[in-house]
Chains A and B, each alone.
Chain A
Amino acid sequence: MDLIKIFLVAVLVNNVVLMRFLALCSYIGMTSDVGQSVGMGFAVTFVTVLATAATWPIYHFILVPLGLTFLQILIFILVIASLVQLVEFYLKKNIPGLYAAMGIYLPLITTNCAILAVTFENISFKYSFIESIVYAVGVSIGYLLAMVLLAGLRDRMKSSPVPKFLQGTPILFIATALIGVAFMGFSGLIK
């Protein structure tokens, strides 16, 4: 039951983008098309889960016993960067279509704050390995959800009369604020 709670809180109640302001650069930059958002969401899910699977053991079995916890930031970001590189190589070789479509946004996954935040929180929330994986999946699904929602909205907004002074980025933020208010209703989900 605890695992389900962790998952639901991560996806809905404490949504990584809408409630916690993480992963905004890709959120604004990659939601012009729903297909793109889905692709990005899955890529982020993949990297986040792998990163969790790698960083959790590294922290608990190497950094802590050796008293090297101060290297956490350094090691974690290097692990994420390497994983993204590996994903890039794999995609380039095996799914070149997706690789081309993602373009510059693939290496940008490295700087996606949500991924690093998840790896850090797995430690600070004192989650077990399984709880960490569940949390990682939850946060990523929450990210995917937010991305798809905004991409869908942007599609609609193309044919809506947006006031001139709000055109472009401002209306996106305001739309996000409104989606966020709706999501706040989810906080009653958990006791």
Chain B
Amino acid sequence: MKGIAKLGLVLAIFAAAACASLAVVYAITKPQIEAQDQIALTASLKEIFPEAVNFEDVTDKLVSKDANIKFLNAVLVKGENAPIGVAVKAAGPSYGGQATLLVGITLQRSIAGVRVLELKDTPGLGANANNPGYFVKKAEKVTFPGQFTGKYLTDAFAVKEDVIAITASTITSKSLTKIIKTAGDSAAEWLETVTADTSAETTGGK
């Protein structure tokens, strides 16, 4: 009995020491880890909307029409004087797990840009969606997310017809396109309500 008690004690001491040291490392790294997410988000937002000055959180205002695609975050992007667009951080299923994209929509209901934030698909295949060196249009150096810039939400979004798929990664291409379309449509819909309000205000104010 005494032998086992001693074993248990030694084990417990090592476990406690391990947990304690981990707690310390965690406490040190936690703020940085959380900051990294923010840094990535802000950097991506600035890439899509270079004239952005500040952002207003509108996360509860956008509703996803697809049960599998969740909107983690939505911001109204504001320029110097007026809003210039909406950005939605959307997550949905892709080949290797959840994929998280940042989709920017302009006031004209076109896509300002798409950034891949998180992607767990196969390296060399689906993961090329996030590879800055992989081009779906080699001559013009257009990447997979890059091809969506300037595309109107009313355009067709059929993969392999209107949207160029990544070689040998049809599932990834379709999944990401779906996320982009869902996010874009919701943002555009919400923008309708917002601009309807503001134009009603201006006419009402007159």
- Tell me if chains A and B make direct contact, with any CB pair below 8 A: yes
Q: Which residues of A contact B (CB under 8 A)?
A: 14, 70-71, 74, 121, 124-126, 187, 190-191
Evaluate contact between A74 and B98: CB separation under 8 angstroms. Answer: no
Evaluate contact between B22 and A71: CB separation under 8 angstroms. Answer: yes
Q: Is B23 an interface residue (CB 8 A)?
A: yes
**Which residues of B sit under 8 angstroms from A191, Cβ to Cβ?**
171, 174
Q: Is B19 an interface residue (CB 8 A)?
A: yes
Measured CB to CB, the nearest residue on chain B to A188 is B170
A160 to B128, CA, bound (A): 40
Measured CB to CB, the nearest residue on chain A to B96 is A14
Chain B binding surface SS class: helix
User: Which chain B residues (161-177) contact chain A, with CB distance < 8 Å?
Assistant: 171, 174
**Which residues of A sit under 8 angstroms from B23, Cβ to Cβ?**
70
Evaluate contact between A70 and B26: CB separation under 8 angstroms. Answer: yes
Identify which of A70, A125, A187 contacts B98 (C-beta below 8 A): A125
**Which residues of A sit under 8 angstroms from B26, Cβ to Cβ?**
70
Q: Is B124 an interface residue (CB 8 A)?
A: no
Evaluate contact between B22 and A74: CB separation under 8 angstroms. Answer: yes
A8 to B97, CA, bound (A): 14
A-B pair count, CB < 8 Å, reads 19
A-B contact pairs, 19 of them (CB 8 A): A14-B96, A70-B22, A70-B23, A70-B25, A70-B26, A71-B19, A71-B22, A74-B18, A74-B19, A74-B22, A121-B97, A124-B97, A125-B97, A125-B98, A126-B98, A187-B171, A190-B171, A191-B171, A191-B174
With A70-B25, A71-B19 already in contact, 5 other A-B pairs whose C-beta atoms are closer than 8 Å: A71-B22, A74-B19, A125-B98, A190-B171, A191-B174
Q: Which residues of B contact A (CB under 8 A)?
A: 18-19, 22-23, 25-26, 96-98, 171, 174
**Which residues of B sit under 8 angstroms from A121, Cβ to Cβ?**
97
Give the shortest distance, in Å, between B113 (CB) and chain A (any CB).
Answer: 27
Which 10 residue pairs of A and B lie closest in terms of their CB atoms, listed nearest first? A70-B26, A125-B97, A70-B22, A71-B19, A74-B18, A71-B22, A126-B98, A190-B171, A125-B98, A124-B97
Give the shortest distance, in Å, between A12 (CB) and chain B (any CB).
Answer: 14
Give the shortest distance, in Å, between B19 (CB) and chain A (any CB).
Answer: 6
Give the shortest distance, in Å, between A122 (CB) and chain B (any CB).
Answer: 11
Give the shortest distance, in Å, between B18 (CB) and chain A (any CB).
Answer: 6
**Which residues of B sit under 8 angstroms from A70, Cβ to Cβ?**
22-23, 25-26
**Which residues of B sit under 8 angstroms from A187, Cβ to Cβ?**
171
A124 to B100, CA, bound (A): 13
A121 to B97, CA, bound (A): 9
Q: Which of A70, A71, A190 has the largest number of chain B CB atoms within 10 A?
A: A70
A124 to B96, CA, bound (A): 11
Measured CB to CB, the nearest residue on chain B to A13 is B95
Measured CB to CB, the nearest residue on chain B to A5 is B93
A71 to B26, CA, bound (A): 10
A125 to B26, CA, bound (A): 23
Give the shortest distance, in Å, between B110 (CB) and chain A (any CB).
Answer: 28
Measured CB to CB, the nearest residue on chain A to B91 is A126
Give the shortest distance, in Å, between A127 (CB) and chain B (any CB).
Answer: 10
A187 to B96, CA, bound (A): 12
A98 to B96, CA, bound (A): 36
Give the shortest distance, in Å, between A86 (CB) and chain B (any CB).
Answer: 17
A70 to B26, CA, bound (A): 7
